[in-house]
Structure 1
Amino acid sequence: MRFSTRCSVILLGLVLPAPSALALTPPSFSVTDPHHSRLRQLESRAFALFNSDDYALSMSQKTRDAWKRLHAAAMKTKVGGKPHPLAGVALINLSSMDQIDGRNPDALARSTEGLALLAPFADAYPIAWMQGLSIRGFVQVALGDVAGGADILAQASHYMDGYIARTPADKLDKDAHMLRSNIAFSHAQALTRLGRNAEAVEAQKASMEARIAAAGPDSADTIGSYYTYAQMLARADRDAEAESYARLAVDKATDHVDRKHPSYARALEALGLLLSRTGRRAESLDYLQRAIAIKRETVGTDSLYFQFGLQNLGTVLLPLERYADAAPLFMEAESGFRRIEGENSPQSARALAFGASAGIAEGRRDEAIEQLKAALARVRAGSDKDRDIGQRVYPYLIPALIAAGRAEEAHAAAATFAAETRQLDNAPAFPLAQAAMLAAWTAPDRAGLRESARRLAGVLRDGATLNDNGELTEDQRAGLDTLLAVAAQTQDGALALDAMAVLAGSRIAQANRLVAQRLVADPALAARVREVQDRIKALEAADSRLLRALATDRDVAAARAARAIVAADVEAARSALARDYPRWVEARGGERPDLGALRTGLARDEAMLAVMPAFDGVYLLAVGADGARVERATMGRAALVALVNRLRGSLTPAGFDRAAAQDIYAQIFTPGILATLGKARTLRIVPTGAFASLPFAMLPQRPVARVDRDTPWLIRRFAIEVQPGFATGASARSRIAARDQRFLGIGAPQSFASGSGSGQRGGAMLAANHYFRNGGADIHALSELPPLPGSLTELEAVAQRFGPDHATLLVGAAANEGALRSRDLSPYGVILFATHGLVSGEMEGVTEPALVLSPPAAATPGEDGLLTASEVAAMRIAADWVILSACNTAAGENGQAAAYSGLAQAFRYAGAGSLLVSHWPVRDDASAFVTLETVKGANRGLPRAVALQRAMLKLIRSRQDGAAQPYIWAPFILMGH
C-alpha cells in the first residue's frame, strides 16, 4: 500500500493521538493474495484520485465515492471470518478527508471504526494503521479530549519506533519518515496542551530528526521542525537552546529557501516571538516586521496567517508602550479577521479589544469604550459559550467607564466580569483579584475596596517577581494603573507605594537584566531564586483558591488559613534571599518598601516625590514630614509623555520650549503636592518611563518670558537627588570628608581611528546599537565617535584639586579595560570617567550601555575598548562618588528607556555611593566646571545634593558663554540610594 503524500503534508500542522493494543496479523494473510486483486485495483484508483495534484479533485465527491466502493467491497470479502483490512484502510482515508474538511466528529467516528477493522491486520498495513491513529488522536484532541488523544499518539509513536527499528534502512522511504515526523509532532502538541513540556520537547525532537531523514536538513519542511522545536524548548524554559534552533531556522531559510515560501516568514516570526518572550522585544521587532512584509508580498492580506502576524507584532509593541504603532496593526487585523471569518469573528473581536486597550493608553477613551463594547457584543452574537473575551475587555472597559463618569454602566460591567471569572475553571489569581477589586470599586458603598485593592497589589507584585526579565505586560500595567487610581481617590499612600514599587522595580530589573543573568550563573543563587519562584507560584495558587472562596462565600476560613501558611513560607524565603544575596535583590528592583520606614528614613529637611506613568495616567506620590499625598495628573499619560518629549526635543544651547516646561511643572507640582513637600530643602525624586529623561532641575516655578541669571528654576527651591527606586533609610554616606580622599580619573581615551588623542573624527552620537556587531564592539563605528577635547583638561583640573599624592590618572592609551581591571579600586573615594557614554532605550541582547575606553594594543580576550554595564557590575568599587562625565549616562533616549540606562545602575550595584551623571551630551567646559565645583563643595562637607545645587547655580551666575541656558547647566543629576 502506498502512503498518501497529501496526508503527509496535511498532518504537519496537526496534533495527533494513538491506539489500543492490537492483535497480530494472521500468518495466513497476504496483502498480495491474488484472490483479492480486485480490491487492490479499487484501492489504487482511490489513491490515484486522493493524491491528485488537482486539490479540488482530490477532495471531491468522486474521491469519496472511490473510497466508499473499496469499503463496501472489502466488507463483503472475508479473511478468517473478518472483513478484509482494506475496509479499514478506506475508512481511515475517508476520515482524513473529513478532518481536512473540518468535520471532526465524522473523522473521529470513521477513524475509530477503521482502526477496529484494521487492528487484526495492523502489521500488514503499518502505514495505514499509524495514519489512522494519527487522525483519531488529532480529532480527539481537537474535540477536547486532550489527555485521551495524547495517549493515542503515544501508542502511535511507540508503534512507529518499532516499525522503523525492524524495517531495513533501504526499505524505508521518505513517506515513512514523514509520517513518523507527523505523529511525533502531533504528540508533542498534545503534550504541550497538557503542560507536559519536558515530554513535548522530546517528542518534537523526534519529529525534527525524522523530518531531517525524510527531507534533508535544509528543506523548507525541516526548517519548520527547527522553529517548532525552538518553541517547545522555550515552553520548557530552555531559552538558550530555543534561541539557537530558532536562529538555525532563520539561517537555513535565508540560505536555502525562497523568501516566498511560508517557512521563510514563519522562521523569522518564530525567532521574533522567542526574542520577545525572553525580554528582548525591541530586538524581536525587526524579525516580526520582516515576516509581515514578506507575508504581505507573497500570500497577501486575505489569510488568517497574515492577520495573526499583525496581531503578534502588535502584542510585542504593547509592553514597549508603543501604543500609537500597535493600534493600527490591531485595527488592520480586526478588519482582516472580520473579512475572512465573518462579522462575528472571535479573532476580530480580540483584535478590536487589543486596539481599544492601545487607544485608552493613547488617551482616546470614549472611542475605546465603544470598541470594547463592540468586541463583547460581536463574540456573544456568534457564540454564547465564548466568554474568555471578557478577561481582555472588562479590565480596560470598567476603569474607562468610571473615568468617563458612567458609574452605572461600570457597576453592571463589573458584576458581569466577577460572575464570568468565577465560572472559569482554574482561574489564575490575577483575574480573580482584579474582578473582585473592580466589583468593590464600582459598588455604591465601596465595601472591602481597600482590602481587595491590597490583595490585587500583592498578586501583581508576585507576578512581576516571577518574570525573569522584569517586564510588565500591558494587562499588569493596566492593573497597576487601576490600583493607583484607587489610591488617589482614597488617599491610600501605602497602596500607591506598593503599586509604584512594582512599576519602578520593573524598570530596574530591565536595566539590570544582563547583570542579573551574570549573577544567576552562580548555581547556588540560581537554585535559591528558583526556590523562591516556586514558592511564589504556590502562593499564587493559594491566592486563587482564597479569591474563589471569597467570590462564592464558601470555605473562606480554610482557604485564608491555608494561604497564610504559604505566605509565611514565601516571606521567609524572600527574607533569607535578601539577607544572603542583597546585590541580587537590588538588581531585581529591591524589596517591598514600607511607607512608615520610608518616612522615617527621610532627613529633617528632606522629602520624596515619585512620578510614575502607568497605563492611562501619570501618578504622583509625595512623602513629607507631615504625611503623604497621592494624585493623578490632570493630563493623561500619553499627553504628558508627549509634553516631556517635546521639551527634551526643544532643548538647544540657545533655548527651549518654555511653555512645555511650565506645563510640566504645573502638572507635577500641584498645590497639594507642594503642601505635602512642605519646607523640605532636598527632594528625592523617583521617576520612571519618560520622566527618567526629564531634567527636573530646569522646570520653572512660574511662567517666564526670558531666561536669565534669576529665572526661578526648581533647582533654586530644592537640592535634587534622583533615585531609580524606593530605598528606605538615610544614605550612610551623605557627605564626603576631605581628609585622605583619593581620586582616580579615567578618560581622554585613545582613538579607535588614529591611535592617538581623544577621538579625531567628528559626527553625531548614535544609539549604542550602532557601536556593537555580532556580540562585540564595532571598531569602524567607534572610530566615528566625535572628539572630546575638554576631557583631559577636566580630569587634570579635578586631579589638581586633590593633589599629586592623592590623585591617579589613566588617560590616553592607559585608559583601557586591562589597566582598570588590574587596579585595586578600593582606596579611591572619588572616581571620574571623562569619555563617551553609549546608551539607548531599546538596546537588546549583548548590546549594553557602555563607556568608551582605549582599544587594546593587541587582540586581548575580554577586551574590546568598551566597558559595559555588566562588566561594571562585576567590579568592586568602594568610592563615595562615581562621576560619569560622559554623554547620555543618565537615562535612555526615549520615553520607554529603562531607569537610568543600566550604566548608572551598574555602578551603584558595584558599590558606588552616589553618582553624578548627565542627561544629554555635555559641553566639555560646563562638565569640568560642574564636576570640579561639586567635588569642592562636597569636600567642604556639604551634602552632595546641595553641592551639586550650588555648582549649578554658580554656573548659571558665571560669565561663561550661554551658561544661563538650561541646555548648559541642567543635564547633570545626582543619583543616590
Structure 2
Amino acid sequence: MKSGIHLVVAAWLALAASTGLSAPAFAEGVAALSARINALSRAGKYAEAVPLAQGQLDSLEKKYGPDNRDVAAALNNLAQLYGEQGRDAEAEPLLKRAIAILDKVSGLNSAEAAPELNNLAALYQRQQRYADAEPLFRRALAIREKALGPNHPDLGQSINNLATLYEKLDRHEDSEPLFKRALAIYEKAAGREHPAVATLLNNIGQVEKVQGRYAEAEPLIRRSLAIREKALGREHPDVARSLNNLADLYERQGRYADSEPLYQRAVAIRQAALGPDHPDLAISLNNLASLYQAEGRTKDALPIVQTTIASGRMQLRVALPVLLAAQRQQLLPSEKALDDALNVVQRATQSSAASAVNKLAVRLAAGTDRLAQLVRRDQDLASEAEAIDKSLLSAASKDRAKRDAAAEAKSRARLAAIAAERASLQKTFASEFPDYAALSNPLPMTAKEIQALLGADEAMVLFAVAEKESFVFALTHDGVDWTSVPLGAGALSAKVAAFRRGLDIGKAQDASGKAGLFDLALANELYATLLGPVESLIKDKRSLLVAPVGSLTALPFHLLVTAPPPAAIPETFAGYRDAAWLLKRQSVSVLPAASSLKASRVFARKEQSTKPLTGFGDPLFNPSLEGAGDNRTAVKQASRALVTSAYTDFWQGAGVDRVRLAAALPQLPDTADELNAVAKDLGAASTDIHLGADASESTVKRAQLADYGIVYFATHGLVAGDVKGLAEPSLVLSIPKQPSAFDDGLLTASEVAQLKLNADWVVLSACNTIAGDKPGAEALSGLARAFFYAGARALLVSHWSVDSEAATRLTTSTFDRLKADPKLGRAEALRQAMLAYLKDTSSPRNAYPAFWAPFALIGEGAAR
C-alpha cells in the first residue's frame, strides 16, 4: 500500500460520523471531556487520549449500566482510538458491543447507529474483508439518506466511505461519481477550505492517479495539501497523508528528485506525531525505501527495510527487491538476506488453507490426548463464534420487520456461553500446558529449517507476487536460490487465465484448426518465467513441492512445458503426447504454504485407518426423482457440467431455494459408476458407498469417517470466489424433501471443518474444487481449508470439470499403484497414473491434457 484513498474524518465537522468520535448526549462536563479526547485523537496523541476514553467508558457504565446509548457512543470512541493505532483486534469487539446496545435500545434505523456501522465497516475494510464491509457501509448510507436528507454532511461522509471501498476493489467507475457527490455536499456545508474537502479532493486525485491521468490528479492533490497545511498546521498527520500521495504521484512519473523530500517530510511528521509503532509511519517508511531502491540506493533503503521487518510492518513489494539487491551487492550475508526474505514471504502469504493445516498441526503436536482434545474444542468454539457473529451482523443490517428476534437472542446467549467456555480453556492451557502458547504461534522457518525437512530427491519452490514483479525461491536439502520474476500480479493472472482456457473438455473434440485448444507455447513460456530461473537447482529432483500464491494457485504446474514445442497447437491430439511436460520429469505436490511442510511432516498422525474407502456420489438433487430407477440413469453424460455458482445464488432467507438449485444442477449418474469402480478396485464394502438419496448430509455427518483412509466425494461444488454474506463454498449432496439445519443438501465448508477425519486422501471429483471463479481467488480456501482442518493429510482435487471415465481411471490407477508400493508416495503414484493415461494410444483424445491431467495433489505427497 503506497498511498491512500481514505475515509472522511467527520470529527472535523464536529459531527458524529464514521471515523470521527461520536458526541454522547451526556452532561456538559462529560461532553467537554469528549471534546478533549477528540482533539487529542486529531493530533495523534493516542497515549493521552486512550486512558481518558477508557475512563469515560468506565464512568458511564457505572452510572448508566451496560445497555445505554451513551455507553455505546463511548465504546465507539475508544474503538476508534484503537483503530487509529492499528489495534483492530481490540477495536472490533468494542464496536460490535456498541452496535448490539443501539440495536437493543433503539434499533438500527436511526441516524445515531450509522457511525458505529460505518466504523465497523471501516475496520473490515482495513483488514481487506470487503465482502463484510460493503453491506454495513450500505446500511449506514441508507439510514442517513432517509434520516438526514440529500445534503447533510454526514450523508456525504457515508457516500465517501462506500466510494472508498469501491476504489479499493478497482471499481473506478463506481467510486468516482460518489466521491464527486460527497465533495459537492462538503463544499456546500463546510466551505471550500475545510479539511474534509481536502480529503475528498485527495480521494478524487487518487482515482485519477491510479488510472494514469497524472495531469488531472496533480492539482487536486496539491490543493488538498494546501488546505490541510493552512487549516491544520504543517506538522499534522493529515498533512503527511497528502505529502505521501503527492510524492507517490511524482514517483510514478519518474520525478524522484521531487518525490524524495515529500516522503522524507511525511516520515518526519508521522514519527513525531504518531510514534514509532503506528501503521501510517510504516507506510511512509516503506514508500521511502521503495523510492531509494528505484533510484538504485539499496544502501539507504536497507536499514529502513530492516526496521519494518523487525516491527512486522514490512511490505512484500518493498522488502524483497531491497533484500535481493542487498545480497547481490554484499551489503548483507547471503544467508541473512535469504532468511529475512523468507520471513517476509511467510508472514505476507499465509493463506487460510495454510492456517488450517497449522491448526491441525497444533492439535496433533499437543501430544497428550487430553490436550489435543482441548485444543480442538477451543478451535471449534472459535469457528462457531465467528459464524454466529457474522450472522448477527448480517441480521443487524436488515430492517427490523425482516428479523427473527428470538433466533438472534438465542445466538447472543450462545456467544456468551462460548466466551465463558473459551476463557476457562485458556486458564487450563496456562496452568496445565504452559508450552502450548509457543506451539500455537509458530515463527516463520529459516532456509536451513526448511531444508532439513526435505528429502534428498525433493525440491521446494515458493512464490511471492507483488504488483510489478514476483519472486521465486527454490530449496533442496543441500542448496538454495532465489530471484525476481518480471511479471506482477495482473500480468500473471492474465497468463494463467489464458493457460486454463485450453482445458475445457467440451471444446476438445478434435485438434483441426481449433483456436481454443491448449497452448503449448504459453505453457513453455510460463515454465521459463516461473521455474526457469531456478531450473539448475530443481530439475534433477524426483519430487517438486510448490507453494503458490494468488493466481498461481489456479495454475496446474504439472502441465508446464520444459522445452519449446514444435508448434503452439499441434495438428492432432497425438502431438500433445510428445510435449516436454513437467510431469514427465517430476511429480508435483501443492502446499498451501511453506509452514504446511512442517505441519505435515513433524506433527503427522501415525495411526492407520481401518477401512479402505467411503464414498458419496450421484446425489439426488430433485427429491421427486427418488425411486425413478432406470429412467434416471438412462442417459450418461460424456462430461459432467461444471457448476461454479455462488452459494448466494440459491440462498433464500434462512435456507436454500431448492427449486432453483435442483434446476441448475444436472444429475450425475455417471459418478455412481465411478465410485463403484473405485470401491471394487480397493475392496471397499458396498455399504460404504452412498449413492442417490443416501448421498446426503445426514449420511456424511453420522458416518464414522475417521475409520477410512480415503473419503471420496463425486458431486458438484459451489466454490469460493464471489461468495458473500451467509454463503460458503460447499459440496452439493442429496437435497431432502424436508430440509433442516442439520441437512439442507449443502455440506458447507464450516460443516466440513466439524468432521473428524483420519484420511490419507480426500478426493473431490466432478468440479473444479481447486480453483476459484477466476485466477487470483484463493484457490485453496473454503473446502480445502476445511478438509485440512478436519484431519485430511492430502486432497486429490480437480482443476477443471472432469470427464467421468477419466476420473475413474486416474483415481483407481493412482490407488492401485500406491497399494502395490506404499513407499511410492501419493504424488508419484498420481504422476504415474497420469503418464500411463497420456501414453495410451487406444484413443486419440488420451493425449489431450484436459483428459489425463485434471487432478492435483494438495498437501503431503510423500510416502507416510
Fold similarity call, TM over 0.5 = yes
Cα separation, 2, equivalents of 1:365 and 1:622: 39
Match of residue 686 from structure 1? 547
Cα separation, 2, equivalents of 1:721 and 1:135: 62
Post-superposition Cα deviations, 1:262-282, rounded to whole Å, max 9, x if no partner, equal 689889857855765787531
Q: After TM superposition, list the pairs within 5 Å mapping 1:574-585 onto structure 2.
A: 576-579=436-439
Supply the AA of the counterpart residue of 2:493. V
**Contact (CA 8 Å) 2:730, 2:749: kept in 1 or not?**
yes
Cα separation, 1, equivalents of 2:102 and 2:270: 36
User: What displacement does 1:722 show?
Assistant: 1.0
User: What displacement does 1:794 show?
Assistant: 0.8
Cα separation, 2, equivalents of 1:246 and 1:660: 61
Sort the Cα spacing of 1:805 and 1:711 in 2 relative to 1 into closer, same or farther, 3 A.
same
User: What displacement does 1:298 show?
Assistant: 9.9
Cα separation, 1, equivalents of 2:843 and 2:350: 40
Q: Does 1:418 align with 2:301?
A: no
Match of residue 58 from structure 2? 199
Cα separation, 2, equivalents of 1:602 and 1:366: 53
User: What displacement does 1:915 show?
Assistant: 0.7
The alignment partner of 1:482 has SS state of: helix
Sort the Cα spacing of 1:291 and 1:281 in 2 relative to 1 into closer, same or farther, 3 A.
same
**Contact (CA 8 Å) 2:354, 2:785: kept in 1 or not?**
no
Q: After TM superposition, list the pairs within 5 Å mapping 1:422-441 onto structure 2.
A: 422-432=271-281
The alignment partner of 1:887 has SS state of: coil
The alignment partner of 2:832 has SS state of: helix
The alignment partner of 2:486 has SS state of: strand
Match of residue 504 from structure 2? 652
**Contact (CA 8 Å) 2:765, 2:807: kept in 1 or not?**
yes
One of 717, 735, 748 as aligned partner of 1:837: 717
Cα separation, 1, equivalents of 2:593 and 2:773: 20
Supply the AA of the counterpart residue of 1:633. V
**Contact (CA 8 Å) 1:768, 1:848: kept in 2 or not?**
yes
The alignment partner of 1:493 has SS state of: helix
Match of residue 695 from structure 2? 815
Match of residue 579 from structure 2? 711
Cα separation, 1, equivalents of 2:797 and 2:825: 17
**Contact (CA 8 Å) 1:891, 1:901: kept in 2 or not?**
no
Cα separation, 2, equivalents of 1:749 and 1:817: 10
The alignment partner of 2:456 has SS state of: coil
Match of residue 533 from structure 2? 672
One of 944, 951, 954 as aligned partner of 2:826: 944
**Contact (CA 8 Å) 1:838, 1:888: kept in 2 or not?**
no
The alignment partner of 2:812 has SS state of: helix
**Contact (CA 8 Å) 1:511, 1:902: kept in 2 or not?**
no
Q: After TM superposition, list the pairs within 5 Å mapping 1:500-899 onto structure 2.
A: 500-508=345-353, 517-518=382-383, 521=418, 576-579=436-439, 591-624=443-476, 627-648=479-500, 651-653=503-505, 654=507, 655-656=516-517, 658=519, 661-662=522-523, 665=526, 668-669=529-530, 671-701=532-562, 702=564, 704-707=567-570, 708-727=576-595, 728-729=597-598, 732=601, 742-756=612-626, 764-784=643-663, 785-804=665-684, 808-855=688-735, 862-899=742-779
One of 852, 859, 862 as aligned partner of 1:976: 859
Sort the Cα spacing of 1:449 and 1:629 in 2 relative to 1 into closer, same or farther, 3 A.
farther
Supply the AA of the counterpart residue of 1:787. Q
The alignment partner of 1:720 has SS state of: strand
User: What displacement does 1:598 show?
Assistant: 1.0
Question: What are structure 2's unaligned runs of at least 5 residues?
Answer: 1-13, 44-48, 81-88, 328-336, 360-378, 386-417, 508-515, 571-575, 636-640
Match of residue 308 from structure 2? 456
Post-superposition Cα deviations, 1:636-684, rounded to whole Å, max 9, x if no partner, equal 3233324434544675332357399448606742642323434233222
Match of residue 388 from structure 1? 237
Supply the AA of the counterpart residue of 1:926. A
Cα separation, 2, equivalents of 1:490 and 1:806: 62
Post-superposition Cα deviations, 1:61-81, rounded to whole Å, max 9, x if no partner, equal xxxxxxxxxxxxxxxxxxxxx
The alignment partner of 2:552 has SS state of: helix
Sort the Cα spacing of 1:400 and 1:272 in 2 relative to 1 into closer, same or farther, 3 A.
closer
User: What displacement does 1:956 show?
Assistant: 3.6
Question: What are structure 1's unaligned runs of at least 5 residues?
Answer: 1-9, 19-129, 148-189, 212-221, 462-475, 536-572
* Aligned-pair Cα RMSD in Å: 5.2
User: What displacement does 1:729 show?
Assistant: 4.5
Supply the AA of the counterpart residue of 2:454. L
Match of residue 953 from structure 1? 835
Post-superposition Cα deviations, 1:207-231, rounded to whole Å, max 9, x if no partner, equal 98689xxxxxxxxxx9x99997998
User: What displacement does 1:974 show?
Assistant: 0.7
Sort the Cα spacing of 1:231 and 1:400 in 2 relative to 1 into closer, same or farther, 3 A.
closer
Match of residue 569 from structure 1? none
Cα separation, 1, equivalents of 2:617 and 2:289: 58
Match of residue 237 from structure 1? 93
Supply the AA of the counterpart residue of 1:686. A
Cα separation, 2, equivalents of 1:735 and 1:807: 27
Match of residue 5 from structure 1? none
Q: Provide TM-score, normalisation by structure 2.
A: 0.70
Post-superposition Cα deviations, 1:73-125, rounded to whole Å, max 9, x if no partner, equal xxxxxxxxxxxxxxxxxxxxxxxxxxxxxxxxxxxxxxxxxxxxxxxxxxxxx
Sort the Cα spacing of 1:414 and 1:948 in 2 relative to 1 into closer, same or farther, 3 A.
same
Sort the Cα spacing of 1:307 and 1:602 in 2 relative to 1 into closer, same or farther, 3 A.
farther
**Contact (CA 8 Å) 1:885, 1:917: kept in 2 or not?**
yes
Sort the Cα spacing of 1:277 and 1:314 in 2 relative to 1 into closer, same or farther, 3 A.
same
**Contact (CA 8 Å) 1:956, 1:969: kept in 2 or not?**
yes
Cα separation, 1, equivalents of 2:298 and 2:200: 33
Post-superposition Cα deviations, 1:176-234, rounded to whole Å, max 9, x if no partner, equal xxxxxxxxxxxxxx9897255853884998798689xxxxxxxxxx9x99997998999
User: What displacement does 1:480 show?
Assistant: 2.7
Match of residue 162 from structure 1? none
Match of residue 282 from structure 1? 131
The alignment partner of 1:665 has SS state of: helix
Q: After TM superposition, list the pairs within 5 Å mapping 1:112-127 onto structure 2.
A: none
Match of residue 73 from structure 1? none
Cα separation, 1, equivalents of 2:832 and 2:738: 45
User: What displacement does 1:687 show?
Assistant: 1.7
Cα separation, 2, equivalents of 1:308 and 1:865: 43
One of 774, 778, 784 as aligned partner of 1:904: 784
Post-superposition Cα deviations, 1:802-827, rounded to whole Å, max 9, x if no partner, equal 12569821222322333333333333
**Contact (CA 8 Å) 2:796, 2:858: kept in 1 or not?**
yes
Q: After TM superposition, list the pairs within 5 Å mapping 1:212-227 onto structure 2.
A: none
Match of residue 214 from structure 1? none
Supply the AA of the counterpart residue of 1:698. L
Cα separation, 1, equivalents of 2:171 and 2:434: 35
User: What displacement does 1:828 show?
Assistant: 1.8
User: What displacement does 1:916 show?
Assistant: 0.5
Supply the AA of the counterpart residue of 1:517. A
The alignment partner of 2:706 has SS state of: coil
Post-superposition Cα deviations, 1:701-737, rounded to whole Å, max 9, x if no partner, equal 4364214322334433432211111134495599999
Cα separation, 2, equivalents of 1:516 and 1:409: 54
The alignment partner of 1:415 has SS state of: helix
The alignment partner of 1:622 has SS state of: strand
Q: Which has the higher contact order (CA 8 A, sep 6+)?
A: 2
Supply the AA of the counterpart residue of 1:577. A
Match of residue 313 from structure 1? 162
**Contact (CA 8 Å) 1:891, 1:900: kept in 2 or not?**
yes
Cα separation, 1, equivalents of 2:524 and 2:838: 23
The alignment partner of 2:785 has SS state of: helix
Cα separation, 2, equivalents of 1:967 and 1:619: 29
Supply the AA of the counterpart residue of 1:482. V
User: What displacement does 1:862 show?
Assistant: 2.6
The alignment partner of 1:194 has SS state of: helix
**Contact (CA 8 Å) 1:422, 1:432: kept in 2 or not?**
yes
